[in-house]
Chains A and B, each alone.
Chain A
Amino acid sequence: MIDSINPTAKTVGILLGSIILGLTFQWEINLFVILLCLLFLITSKRTDPAKLSKIMIPIALISISYFFTGWLFSSEQALFAGASDPATIIGGNDLTNGLNLSTRVLSFAMLGISYSLTTDSGELIASFIQQAKMPMKMGYAILTAINLTSLIHREYDNSKLALQVRNIPVKPFDTKPLFTMMVRMIRWSERLALAMEAKGFSEDRVMQMQMTIKAKDILFSVGLPVLIAVMGFVIL
């Protein structure tokens, strides 16, 4: 459903939608957004169910933690604001406050997941360069770093191992392997920049992937925030 939306338009739509959602304080609108995002994810060919379930575990935990905080540590203002809510009649003000906070965090996360899991990295960078005027150097630096991610992870493990074989203990968040990595990254950036420029890389580079904005992209970037605003401020 949202796979084919232009990534810049998708960014604008979901960003504005998230900000408008931030101005609403009802669990019903949050639930509506969660269901809408589930629809986006189910209909997307790019969603990997294994990855989705892996991401959902910490989100569920954060959401539950906000529920307990909202329930056990409500502010007086929140209790007053929730007095007319239908859920308050069943569970009381504290419970409604917990529900509001937990669904709020969950809805933001679902909007985020439906963006992250349905967007191709190459298309996103190409679209940002072409539509959002991102500097070519910045776009290609991001793609370079993404493609080197697994190598950087391995280098980080190697730098820890190099210390351990010398009988130097490495604790979590230790600065010693981090220092080694910083030195390596400074060297890598110099060599990579030289190599890329030697191959003719410049701001005038022509891109094979051409991204365009169509009517449905504009409809999405305007429609989603408007839908959330209507649901949050008019209907609910």
Chain B
Amino acid sequence: MNRNKLTLRDYLLMALISVVFGVVYLLAVYAGTALTTILTPMGLGVLGYEPFYGIWYMAAIITTYLIRKPLVGIVTEVIAALIEVLLGNMFGVMVLVSAFIQGVGVELPFTFTKYENYSYKVAMASAVSATVLSFLWTGFRSNYLAMDWRIVVAIFVIRLLSALFFTGYLSKLICDKLDKAGILANHLNTSEVSD
């Protein structure tokens, strides 16, 4: 495990990547809002943002892969949330809590591998744990107990599928391409990135 302290370059990379994903998040918000508008009259508007939920975990998993030091996922999510808040995010300070929980979710499987395994298996596990923790948090925030159980199950399943695609598959694909392109200073061995 790389126990070196986070450097200025690491923090800058986390912050800059958070802003890049801020652009992607904005696209997801537009798409989610459009979907929510369509689904609202049927009472299914709460599902509108769920297909894009995995996008919110992408920054954390990508920086964890690129920097490979403990706590990077959590710090990235918190930095991304702070940037969102300062740019006028509607959920303000609660985004910081959501971000911390999502960061813990993304980071957890990497902790078990001592930050030495960056395979698809770990990326998928990361997507699952981020989904479970964020689902518990949004369940508390939006009071899922007041909703029909079928809606709650639909929220979880759609969010999980989204996370598996965006966080588990797409993020890992981008990182592997970066690694192959020779951009990363600390190049990984084949055993570290494949199952």
Contact = CB atoms under 8 A, between A and B. Distances in A.
A66 B46 contact: yes
A25 B143 contact: yes
Nearest to B140: A22
A72 B43 contact: yes
Q: Tell which of B20, B92, B183 has the most Cβ of chain A within 10 Å.
A: B92
Contact of A113 (B29, B40, B90): B90
A112 B97 CA distance: 12
B133 interface: no
Nearest to B11: A141
Contact of A142 (B31, B79, B88): B79
Contact of B20 (A72, A113, A140, A152): A152
B174 interface: yes
Given A65-B45, A66-B142, A179-B178, A141 B15 contact: yes
Interface string A21-36: 0100100000000000
B112 interface: no
Nearest to B91: A112
A201 B11 CA distance: 14
The B interface is mostly helix, strand or loop, or mixed, namely helix
B193 interface: no
A190 B8 CA distance: 9
Contacts of A11: 93, 96
Interface in A42-81: 51, 55, 58-59, 61-62, 64-66, 68-75, 77-78, 81
Nearest to B43: A72
Given A181-B20, A189-B12, A109 B146 contact: no
Contact of B44 (A18, A69, A193): A69
Nearest to B27: A172
The A interface is mostly helix, strand or loop, or mixed, namely helix
Contact of B145 (A78, A137, A138, A196): A78
A229 interface: no
A137 B37 contact: no
A100 interface: yes
Given A112-B90, A142-B15, A149 B22 contact: yes
A69 B46 contact: yes
B20 A22 contact: no
Interface stretch (B103-111, B113-121, B123-131, B148-156): B148-156
A146 B162 CA distance: 28
A19 B98 CA distance: 12
Interface string A168-201: 0000110100110111011011101100110001
7 contacts: A71-B43, A111-B94, A112-B95, A145-B18, A152-B16, A175-B170, A196-B8
Interface of A: 11, 14-15, 18-19, 22, 25, 51, 55, 58-59, 61-62, 64-66, 68-75, 77-78, 81, 97, 100-101, 104-105, 108-109, 111-117, 119, 121, 124, 135, 137-138, 140-142, 144-146, 148-149, 152-153, 156, 172-173, 175, 178-179, 181-183, 185-186, 188-190, 192-193, 196-197, 201
Given A137-B6, A152-B19, 10 more contacts: A15-B97, A73-B147, A111-B92, A115-B93, A140-B11, A149-B87, A173-B24, A178-B24, A185-B20, A186-B184
